[in-house]
Amino acid sequence: MIHRVLALARKELRQLFASPIAYVVGTAYVALTGIYFFQHLVSYNQLLFVYQSEGLTGGGFDQGTVPSQINVLNEVFVPAADDFGLFLLVVLPLVTMRVFAEERANGTDELLLTSGLRPWEIALAKHGVTYLFVLGLLAASAIYPAVVVARAGLGFEHLFALYVGQLCYGCAIASIGLACSSFTSSQIVAAVLGYSIPFVLLDFAWLTNTVSEEVAGRLKEIALLSHYGSFPRGVIELAEVTYFAGIAFLGWLASLTSLELGRAR
């Protein structure tokens, strides 16, 4: 059982890295996160410089003091988390769109589904490898911020929690994308759905004025962003991790259902 899942996972990894998409996505994500993290650090340093500057006595600031809201959390980690989350949302559907749809389009799903592989094993291997890719992507992108944070000697707990949050959030988005890919043989359709569904689930703030308070509250509970905010603050809450794991599980279940439904077509 595990032997078969591992064999399929190796095949998935080979295929993932045989196409340029993994390298393009990886490079783009690492570059974007590095540039934006650097930008937030620069902005934070500029603010500190301005507030601590001796020559600003006429500007309404108390000389040499920095307001409490100007801190590394608010100026670096919270905006970085928002940016990194958005980048994941942009790059991951490009990876997930291929995973099931390509098998269907090439007819190799017939090969897999008649070889004795259980549909749950196929879904597990494909989801597992994609989560592994998300982990690799985040690990590569964490090098630069980790070095900066380690040298500065502050905010390491924020960075760690931010990346745990990113992993949870990334796996949930990837899982939605994989579920979309499993229901179609068109990679374009898979990509469009893989973008649309997470964007709709991201935040329901745009709906709050048109629905009752109770409904707005419920929508907030299921919105992705509502569960992502605590991580950059250095807090890893079990409830939030469970929420993202739940989405990942539902995505896997949807992929499995799609494989089983294909038999009864």
Partner 1 sequence: MSARIEAQGVSKRFGSVVALDEFSLDVAPGEIFGLIGPNGAGKTTFIRILTGYWLATEGDVRVDGVSVTRERFRVQARLGYACEQPKLYADHTVDQFLRFMGEVRGLGGTRLRQAVGLSVERMGLESVRKRRIGVLSKGFRQRVALAQALLHDPALLVVDEPTVGLDPAQQIELRRIIAGFRGTHTVLLCTHQLHEAESICDRVALLDRGKLAALATADEIRQGGSLEALFLARVGRAPEVAVSK
177's CB contacts (< 8 A; 6+ apart) are 92, 93, 95, 96, 97, 190, 193, 194, 198
**Stretch of residues binding partner 1 (CB under 8 A), selected from 151-159, 172-180, 197-205, 257-265:** 257-265
Token representation of residue 79: 């905006």
Query: Which of 9/159 has CB closer to partner 1?
Result: 9
Exposed/middle/buried for 180, CB within 10 Å: 0-12, 13-18, 19+? buried
- Regarding 264 and contact with partner 1 (CB under 8 A), the answer is yes
**Inter-residue contact 196 to 182 (CB < 8 Å):** no
Shortest distance, position 5 Cβ to partner 1, whole Å: 10
Helix (H, G, I), strand (E, B) or coil at 208: coil
CA distance to 57, 77, 110, 126, 142, per residue, from 147 (Å): 35, 15, 47, 32, 8
97's CB contacts (< 8 A; 6+ apart) are 177, 180, 181, 187, 188, 190, 191, 194
- Chain positions 175 to 194 lying near partner 1, rule: CB under 8 A, are none
Query: Which of 15/39 has CB closer to partner 1?
Result: 15
d(CA 120, CA 98): 18
- Regarding 257 and contact with partner 1 (CB under 8 A), the answer is no
Query: Which of 110/237 has CB closer to partner 1?
Result: 110
- Regarding 18 and contact with partner 1 (CB under 8 A), the answer is yes
**Stretch of residues binding partner 1 (CB under 8 A), selected from 91-99, 106-114, 228-236, 248-256:** 106-114
> Among candidates 220, 126, 228, which has minimal Cα distance to 169?
228
SS3 string, 96-143, reads: HHHHCHHHHHHCHHHHHHCCCCCHHHHHHHHHHHHHHHHHHHHHHHHH
**Inter-residue contact 197 to 176 (CB < 8 Å):** yes
Shortest distance, position 110 Cβ to partner 1, whole Å: 6
Query: Which of 7/86 has CB closer to partner 1?
Result: 7
Site string for partner 1, 114-133 (x = CB under 8 A): xxxxx---------------
**Stretch of residues binding partner 1 (CB under 8 A), selected from 33-41, 113-121, 175-183, 215-223:** 113-121
- Chain positions 19 to 78 lying near partner 1, rule: CB under 8 A, are 19
Q: Of the candidates 7, 42, 152, 215, which one interacts with partner 1 according to CB under 8 A?
A: 7
Q: Of the candidates 57, 108, 196, 242, which one interacts with partner 1 according to CB under 8 A?
A: 108
Q: Which residues bind partner 1 (CB under 8 A)?
A: 3-4, 6-8, 10-11, 14-15, 18-19, 106-108, 110-118, 263-265
